[in-house]
Structure 1
Amino acid sequence: MDSDEDLARAIALSLQDQANKPKAQPEVHVIDDSSDDDEITILDEDPQFSRDLKRAMKQSKAEAETSASTSRNATSPAPPAPQAPGAPSGFISERAKMEQERLARLKRLRGDSVTDTTSADQGDQIPVMKRQRVSPSRAYAGNNRAAHSVSAFASSSSSGVDEAGGKGGGKEKGKEKERDVPTIDRTFWDGELRPTANRHAEPRADGRATFRLSEVIGHKSNIEFAILSSFSTSISWIYEFFDPHTPVIFVAQPDSSGNAALKNVLPNWLMTTPFLRNGYGCQHMKFMLLFYKDGRLRVVISTANLIDYDWRDIENAVWLQDVPRRPSPIPHDPKAKDDFPSIMQNVLRSVNVRPALANMLANDHPNLPLQTIADLRTHWDFSKVKVKLVPSIAGKHEGWPAVVQSGHPRLMKAVRDMGLRTGKGKAAKELVVECQGSSIGTYTTQWLNEFHHSARGESAEDWLDAPRSRRTKLPFPPVKIIFPSLKRVRATALGERGGGTMFCKRAQWEGKNFPRGSFYESESRGGRTLMHTKMIIGTFRSNPLVSVGAGTSKSAPQKKQLEDSETEPEDDDVDPDIQIVNEPIGWAYVGSHNFTPSAWGTLSGSSFNPSLNNINYELGIVMPLYNDEDIDRVSCFKHPPKKYGSDDVPWMQDESLILREIAAASS
């Protein structure tokens, strides 16, 4: 039986199962999203919406083998039939004909070209006209803002048209031509950060350009190979965005055993899962490596799972950049460990992609563009990628070489590499960090100060040498925790029914030493929608004593001691190693990390023998911010955020009467 027949049979079985299934009732669905004891519930009274979310929730359970089977994912529309010669099913051919007719109707309605990815990212249950609201002119509204040093991160993409018209008097003409190019046809050689499109905030109140999943992936016929990673996944849904003959390696959440494994889930689709100790933790990374037939590679770092809900009903963020293939490979450099491709290669090895790649090469796909993981750095030119990659690798990491490759010590290294250390002593800058996420952790003053120390770009050596008794008594650092209040959730388009991917527990909130005074409102700049986006905005509070040049003050011996207050001096002189170029005012992080110890890790040990414990696999990027306009372009939440009022409490889904009633009705 060849692969086309296998595929046709899988689709037919899925459709038959869907047809025979009784009408779904509203249900309560739970995701264990973070290993911080955070159960996540998504509900809706609409049966189709409920079915979609039920499928999404099932994917997020640890039973990865169940989530991989399209024949058991009958709660979503079946993938479109492949246009393969000699397909055995007449029904498949009829489906193809219906699809062609649908595209023709869309073309008449829209008056422009309709591609094979027109509607897949929104789902068939959404009316066609709603999917047409983002026009090309609106999609590029954000690009009319002044281009500047964060061009690699927000609304300043480039295409072949831009390069052709970007000189002298033709520059503006080139930009006009670029705006006429549909997003799906553009290349982003300088990188791009955008929020995802959302049907409840369309058009966006702030006018920013957005990404749909079809635009992120591009035309399916152009993709030669793909590596995808997500925590919660609908295989049958994401399958629609790829040609059935395209080989895909999919990194997923392992089952309850936590063992690394490989499994064929569809013809040409191989699922791989990484190791998790005792099955505890999450493979929470959300990324894509898309290899196109023209030779380029698109790197995608996202906050969204590969389920339709995350790309339709809640706001997320996507950073992507196209990377050209080198004319000829460069030699392998075993000493390279800190640049973007080297870190990405380490990520791929950590999440078990290496055996999956070897399996594909040895069986049906010997001519993949990526023959070894090391080819990523030697065959593609990452010189224009300016963001810093920050992963968390699940496990225990001992010794500085290992510790600085993961979690918040990796963030420290990224901040330091960008020249954004705060410095020490009286002249040190104070860093305020604003942390937006969808899940609240168990916070202590020790961990918040530990994270803040790394966010300042300062080595944990000083931190670990201070007595633990002193660290546990430090005041809370300048950290703002951005999380929606009960009032905010009720004011959104979906109300409490849409609060199922946000979680905080009463026991956390009422904890004796919990930082309730550090909570701020999470309000999307796009409109009345909740945000699944994980983002940190770190900005400096100016200190007139700070020197902006290297070597402007003499070096003083560094004390291996932490004062009683994080803002009190540790020594009297400015660190001479600090070099500030173009006066950045801070930095921003975007990725899969929630602001929790499970995501960012917890340090222990001493400065001579440190140890970092990470529960989850996570991945994100960090970039510098140069002015307030940068913050406006990058920030997903209204800035500055509003502090909780005296009567505000965070949204707690397990206390929602609406969710309880729906749960009771479905039990």
Structure 2
Amino acid sequence: MPLEECKYGPACYRKNPSHFQEFSHPWLEEAVMDSDESKKPCTPCINEDATPEIIEDQNCAKDEIHLNKRKRSDSTSSSNSLSKSPITKTARIQSNPLNMYLTKVKGMDESVNNFCSIGIIEILSSKWGQLQESAQFNYMFEVEWLIDKYPPCFRHLPMLLVHQDKRETTAQLEAETAPYGNIDLAKARLNDAFGTHHTKMMLLRYEDTLRVVIHTANLIEQDWREKTQGVWLSPLFPLFKEDEEPRDKSPTKFQTDLILYLRSYKSKAVDHWCELLKKYDMSEAKVFIIGSTPGRHTGADLHKFGHMKLRKILSSNHATCENVQANWPVIGQFSSIGSLGAKSEAWLQGEFLQSLGTTPKRFTAFTKPPLKLVFPCVEDVRNSLEGYKAGGSLPYSDSTHQKQLYLTKFLHRWKSDKKGRTRASPHIKSYFRVSPDMKQIHYAVLTSANLSKAAWGGLEKQSSQLCIRSYELGVLFLPKIFGQQDTFVVSDGLVVDGDGEKDPISFPVPFDLPLTRYGDEDQPWRWDVCYKSIPDSHGDVWIPS
């Protein structure tokens, strides 16, 4: 049941927690961080001369830091040297030429959450305009929690939830959405039991603009609290003017490829959004769409999805980079691992690495680049903010691992000291090609796709068709599209520089470079193995159910 609004309005001075359990304070929603403390009053933590925007951006971080001091003890030392200068939300977003963000993390120093970061309340904020309708594509939903993240004035508006067509998922969502007459459901049909609807995207239509948000988090509270997630936030695309011809003017064919992806759902509810997207000028979109849709893609469709779509773009002039040599490593970072084959050459170092290591036709023959993979080891999970519980979001089974032990030689630990997120377990998925000194980036991908053939696709019939089992969606960043000559610069800390025209743009790689290879005692996390010998950061052990 919704709470009755506090009768004192914005003048409310009460501090008793029970008061905020009995009465709602919607005017405070954007003045606090997206957390389970979001109905607690926000007392400004800075001087009275500060602007309202700065007060809003500070989010009473001091109170939260005090409450979570024990939880973040390991992360404090890595973030003490980070800048703590207050900046407004608007300034932070406008200063990020890539529109690439990490999600805010509960219990972290305020400087961590001020760096190139965003929360779901901020994404859905009314400050962007008067929302008309929205669509949420995802794998997991907590409907009541999601509704609560919208501003109160938007909670009654039309919303479409696109979910996987599996009996248990459908039944749960039908029950959760029953009280809400404004929510419609659309099923993403799957071809087999091994596929999932894993795409994570928001479509937000305002009065005169539209925004596309492609991210890595499930729409559940746990995924937005203490994990490392990634978000690409599009510009606010304006409507075409009446005298303009509606057409895709983006240098990356963003609009065309997004509509192509959405058409694969074969759903009237999703087609509604395809027709809407055609009405907006997306010329400011500077990323490429990398989507996956279930099916066996052949002929002209072979290069439209999965790793073959990435291969095609990386072989184009958009990806030309005079500096790239065969020894530039490919880095993959993910939160789940599928069955990759008995030998690394079968898929991982075969077709997959060939796609991620593709360059425009500069070399006479493809030369296999070094491959480095980032996935948490048991110690990374044990010491995380969530402890072993974080491992529930890292679904890699021991039976699969025993069939591909070769994988361990490629693995590196999850470390993010420079971004203050070492203890924020990764659910983000990102892929890069970097220089051997780990200072330059040829390309970057933010995606929902984990390390699996189901997500990226597997070639069949002498490479004439690509078999994909899951829906996935991501974006590819290429330096040339952002006005860079050759490469992005790897950011050393909590800073993103460059205006996209003259100065080099530093890319916010979510993990530390150089990488930290697994030690002799390190093992990749497997979620179906017992870990009882050493308690985690909460004093708990892990016994799979």
* TM-score bracket relative to the smaller structure: 0.7 to 0.9
Q: 1:186 and 1:496, CA in 2 relative to 1: closer, same or farther beyond 3 A?
A: closer
Find out whether 1:412 has 2:311 as its counterpart: yes
C-alpha root-mean-square deviation of aligned residues, in Å? 4.4
Match of 1:643 in 2: 517
CA distance in 2, matches of 1:241, 1:521: 33
The superposition leaves residues 343-391 of structure 1 with CA deviations (integer Å, 9 ceiling, x where unpaired) of 1112222234x41157xxxxxxxxxxxx6624413x2111111111110
* CA 1:592–1:651: 2 relative to 1, 3 Å: same
Secondary structure, counterpart of 1:238 in structure 2: helix
Partners of 1:236 and 1:96 in 2: how far apart? 17
Separation in 2, partners of 1:249, 1:407: 25
Query: Corresponding residue for 1:522?
Result: 414
Q: Which amino acid aligns with 2:383?
A: A
- Contact 1:387–1:622 at 8 Å: present in 2 too? yes
Give the corresponding residue for 1:246. 157
Match of 2:376 in 1: 484
Q: In the alignment, residue 324 of structure 1 is paired with which amino acid? A: P
Q: Post-superposition shift, 1:475? A: 11
Kindly indicate whether the alpha-carbon contact (under 8 Å) linking 2:441 and 2:490 is maintained by their aligned counterparts in 1: no
DSSP 3-state at the match of 2:425: coil
Q: Give 1:222 shift.
A: 1.9
Describe the SS at the equivalent of 1:499. helix
Distance 2:226 2:39 in 1: 11
What amino acid is aligned across from residue 245 of structure 1 in structure 2? Answer: H
* 8 Å contact kept, 1:340–1:382: yes
Gaps of 5+ in 2: 18-25, 47-53, 60-85, 480-486, 494-506
CA shift digits 1:520-569 (9 cap, x unpaired): 01123323221111111212459xxxxxxxxxxxxxxxxxxxxxxxxxxx
Q: How far apart are 1:508 and its partner, in Å?
A: 3.4
Alignment of 1:494 with 2:386, yes or no, is yes
Distance 1:422 1:244, change over 3 A: closer
Instruction: Provide closer, same or farther for how the CA distance between residues 587 and 475 of structure 1 changes in structure 2, counting only shifts above 3 A.
Output: closer
Q: Which amino acid is 2:319 matched to?
A: L
Q: 1:429 to 1:421 in 2, by over 3 A?
A: farther
* Residues in 2 aligned to 1:646 and 1:131: alpha-carbon distance in whole angstroms: 49
Which of residues 437, 446, 459 in structure 2 aligns to 1:590? 446
Change (3 A) 1:217 1:185: farther
The structure-2 alpha-carbon separation of the partners of 1:343 and 1:108, relative to structure 1 and needing over 3 Å to count, comes to: farther
With over 3 angstroms needed to count, the CA separation of the structure-2 counterparts of 1:232 and 1:538, relative to structure 1, is same
Aligned to 2:242: 328
Q: 1:376 to 1:642 in 2, by over 3 A?
A: same
Q: Which residue of 2 aligns with 1:145?
A: none
Q: Give the number of aligned pairs.
A: 462
Q: Which residue of 1 aligns with 2:126?
A: 219
Whole-Å separation in 1 of the counterparts to 2:436 and 2:92: 42
Is 1:290 aligned to 2:227, yes or no?
no
1:432 to 301, 315, 329: 329
> Identity rate of aligned residues, in percent?
24
Residue pair 2:429, 2:446 contacting (<8 A) in 1 also: yes
> Are the equivalent residues in 1 in contact too, given 2:290–2:310 (CA < 8 A)?
yes
Matched with 2:223 is 310
> Relative to 1, partners in 2 of residues 1:488 and 1:132: Cα closer, same or farther, differing over 3 Å?
farther
Distance in structure 2 (CA, Å) of the matches to 1:407 and 1:223: 32
Matches within 5 A, 1:137-156: none
Cα deviation, residue 457, structure 1: 3.0
Tell me how far apart the structure 2 counterparts of residues 99 and 613 of structure 1 sit (CA, whole Å): 59
1:437-460 superposed Cα distances (whole Å, 9 cap, x missing partner): 111222332212211111133599
| Match of residue 232, structure 2, among 294, 300, 319 | 319
Q: Give the distance between the partners of 1:476 and 1:459, measured in 2 at CA.
A: 14
Structure 2: how far apart are the matches of 1:208 and 1:451?
33
User: Which letter maps to 1:620?
Assistant: G
- Equivalent residue, structure 2, for 1:511: 403
Are 1:483 and 1:521, in contact at CA under 8 Å, matched by a contact in 2? Answer: yes
Residues 204 and 442 of structure 1: is their aligned pair in 2 closer, same or farther, counting only changes over 3 Å?
Answer: farther
Structure 1 residue 198, shift from structure 2 partner = 0.8
Greater Cα radius of gyration, structure 1 or 2: 1
What residue identity is the alignment partner of 1:478?
Answer: P
Aligned to 1:456: 357
Q: Tell me how far 1:311 sits from its aligned partner.
A: 0.7
Q: Output one character per residue of 1:130-181: Cα deviation in whole Å (capped at 9) or x when no partner.
A: 9989965669xxxxxxxxxxxxxxxxxxxxxxxxxxxxxxxxxxxxxxx864
Q: Would the alpha carbon gap of residues 488 and 197 (structure 1) be closer, same or farther in structure 2, given more than 3 Å must change?
A: same
C-alpha distance in 1 between matches for 2:202 and 2:14? 29
Cα contact 2:530–2:543 (8 A) shared by 1: no
CA shift in 2, pair 1:414/1:584, >3 Å:
farther
In structure 2, what is the equivalent of residue 272 of structure 1?
Answer: 186
**Contact 2:28–2:41 (8 Å) recurs in 1:** no
2:529 pairs with 655, 661, 664, which one? 655
TM-score norm. by structure 1 comes to 0.60
Provide the rounded CA distance (Å) in 1 between the counterparts of 2:97 and 2:531. 47
For 2:197 and 2:228, locate their aligned partners in 1 and report how far apart those are by CA, in whole Å.
21
Which of 476, 481, 501 is the equivalent residue of 1:622? 476
Among 302, 309, 325, the residue aligned to 1:403: 302
Comparing 201-210 with 515-524, greater Cα deviation is found at 201-210
Structure 2 SS opposite 1:278: coil
1:421 Cα deviation after fit: 5.6
Give, as a single letter, the amino acid of the residue that structure 2 aligns with 1:479: L
- State how far apart, in whole Å, the 2-side matches of 1:119 and 1:345 are: 36
**Which letter does structure 2 place at the counterpart of 1:507?**
S
Distance in 1 (alpha carbons) for counterparts of 2:13 and 2:168:
49
Counterparts of 2:376 and 2:404, CA distance in 1: 21
CA contact (8 A) 2:164 2:189 kept: no
Query: Partner letter of residue 197 of structure 1?
Result: K
Three-state SS of the structure 2 residue aligned to 1:655 is coil
Q: Measure the CA separation in 2 of the matches of 1:313 and 1:635.
A: 18
* Alignment partners' CA distance in 2, 1:103 and 1:229: 38
Whether contact under 8 Å (1:440, 1:596) holds in the other structure is yes
Decide whether aligned partners of structure 1 residues 486 and 320 sit closer, same or farther in structure 2, where only a CA change above 3 A counts: same
How many angstroms does 1:286 deviate by?
A: 0.4
In the alignment, what sits opposite 1:199?
106
Relative to structure 1, is the Cα distance of residues 180 and 337 closer, same or farther in structure 2, using a 3 angstrom cutoff? closer
Change (3 A) 1:106 1:619: farther
Q: Secondary structure at the match of 1:493?
A: coil
**Cα deviation, residue 639, structure 1:** 1.2
